[in-house]
Amino acid sequence: MSFQAAPHQNTAALLAGVFGAAIFLLIYEWQILNPANIQWLLLSDPAQHFLGWHFYRNEAWTFPPGKIHHYLFPQGTSLVYTDAIPLIAMPLKLIADVLPPIFQYLGLWLLICYVLQGYLAACLIQKLHPTAGVTVILMASLFFILSPVMVQRAAGHESLVAHWLILWGLILYFSDTYRQRGWILLLGFSVLTHFYLFFMAGAIFIAALIKQWLMRHHLKTIVMNLLTAVLATLFIMWIAGYFIFEIQHNAKDGLGYYSMNIMAPFNPGQMKENIDTPTLFLRPVKFYASGQYEGLNYMGAGVLALLTLVITILISSKNKLFNKTTFPLLMLSLVLTILAISPMISFGEVKFWEIQIPGWLEKLLLIVRSSGRLFWPVNYILLLGIIILCLKVFRENTATLILAIALVLQIADFYPWYSNVKLLDRSHIKPSDEKAWAELVKPVRHIVVIPPRENGDQYIKLALIAAKYNKTLNIGYVARSNQTQREQYAQRLLQTFEAGRLDKSSLYLIPQEAHKLRPKKKPQGFKSGYLDSYYYMTPGLTNP
């Protein structure tokens, strides 16, 4: 990522990166940067992300390199499906032996995302308006840094805070020449971060190829650029573990449930399911589907004020929105908006229309079933267009004043939310009797829970113990899995357990809600007892 700019513009970009770090420290607790502090991660999705890395670091290298064998055993999973950010996890595995036994990088990752968000926002603005001064660049960058979606995602989907990948894609799009290396790097970085971000970066890449075609580049060259990027990306996806099994989607809460409500850009709605987003100027409205928090795309009072100003300018002026450079990006925005709001189109609490789509297309779109997220690039394109138009229409002093007023409105609007962000002390996982668990797990190779379900967040304690002692664990919470394989495994496991055919290298655990489950035939050489909320059976000298 190297961008040529005038000395004062390089200064602005670096300062914007510093601003990003400062905003991060103002919003979040600095303690999350401590690699040894994992308590803030021991719940729901954050636990999944940490545990993916925690298991992965202790395993031997295999092919594909991103596969995790000991977690969700025997099927296994990968860095991709635990959202453990392969971009960071794979390089760190090279030095895992010198890292502390407990090491989390998700706090540092969030900080890096904020720094790069500021830096690349400044680079993007100065690319489109090279005469902009340091002050106006910094103020414009702050609108990008203060993104409410980044704050929302930091509370549970750390990988999805990497909105700097979208800004990087826009920088490449607006480059004077097509940069093949840059696009391959972007697609590689994004697919190693999160598939949704890759989808967005890939959409911007396709728009850039269309721009090439409109600029009358040779079609053969464009096709070669596309094929090279596709092949390189597929190879990176294989390395990361995207193809370790056939993904089967659950139809429950499918397309539309996680869509974007049409009101989302203009109303804060909900930051989580059934939890309103607290802002100063607008009262959150209830959306049609509770899952539409995934489509949170509120622009903020300051940006909405700028949007009103820009619309007035466009109506009263002859500024042209469509040209060979902007047309592909505008068409991309239209397509992403349609995907984001469909197939269940709603406005507030009212459902207007549900589009009936063919089964094959629905199966394909389930890959991005949280479709409300797909509006993120559109949001940034709108913000960028608003700022650049202000800078082009008004003199810099006037533009600076306008942006300053809008920025004050933006900060005031988000202050009730941002001033109360708490990532620490969210976990309710209570410490276990470490010594007792160590005595149980050290002699065995496998920890087997029957039935193989994670039981909410209760599996987290078992996962920490299994990873610490390098044992396999047959349960876990992951983003995607092959449900047919898991169901078949669960049936076989229950049958062999009830028949008394127990593996003498395994510790069997029956959770409290299934305590009556016992082998019909008493296995020889096993002992039993209770620990925490589990009934256990383990190789020993006495029968159960």
- CA–CA gap between residue 530 and residue 510 (Å, rounded): 9
> Which pLDDT does position 5 carry in this prediction?
55
DSSP letter for each residue of 400-448:
HHHHHHHHHHHHHHHHHHHTT---TT---PPPP-HHHHHHHHTT-SEEE
Compute mean pLDDT per 10 residues along the chain, 544 residues long, and list them: 59 96 96 95 94 95 94 95 97 96 97 98 95 94 97 95 98 92 97 98 96 86 94 97 78 75 92 83 89 94 95 78 84 96 91 84 87 97 95 92 97 94 80 84 95 88 93 94 91 93 94 86 86 88 41
> Around Cβ 391, how many Cβ atoms within 10 Å?
23
Strands 506-511 and 77-78: unpaired
- CA–CA gap between residue 88 and residue 57 (Å, rounded): 12
* Phi, psi of 426, deg, nearest 5: -95, -20
- Helix 459-468 and helix 434-441: axis angle, to 10°? 60
> Which pLDDT does position 96 carry in this prediction?
95
Say how many Å lie between the first and final Cα of the chain, rounded: 62
The residue length of the chain stands at 544
* Phi, psi of 270, deg, nearest 5: -125, 140
Q: Identify which of 105, 76, 102 has the alpha carbon closest to the alpha carbon of residue 90.
A: 105
Is residue 427 left, alpha or beta, with left meaning phi > 0 and alpha meaning psi from -120 to 50?
beta
**Cβ contacts of 171 within 8 Å, gap of 6 or more:** 3, 120, 123, 124, 127
Q: Which residue has the tokens 């397309």?
A: 255
> Which pLDDT does position 56 carry in this prediction?
97
Strands 350-354 and 446-449: unpaired
Give the ranges where 129-276 is alpha helix by DSSP (H). Answer: 134-145, 148-154, 164-173, 180-191, 195-214, 219-240
Helix (H) or strand (E) holding 127: helix 106-128
> Which pLDDT does position 185 carry in this prediction?
97
Decide: pTM greater than 0.75.
yes
- Is cis: bond before 91, omega within 30 of 0? no
* Phi, psi of 354, deg, nearest 5: -120, 115
DSSP letter for each residue of 52-93:
HHHHHHHSPP-SSTTEESSBTTTT-EETTTTT--HHHHHHHH
DSSP letter for each residue of 480-513:
---HHHHHHHHHHHHHHHHTT---TTEEEEEEGG
Q: Tokens for 79, please give them.
A: 């860095």
Q: What angle do CA 504, 505, 511 make, to 5 degrees?
A: 85
- CA–CA gap between residue 111 and residue 117 (Å, rounded): 10
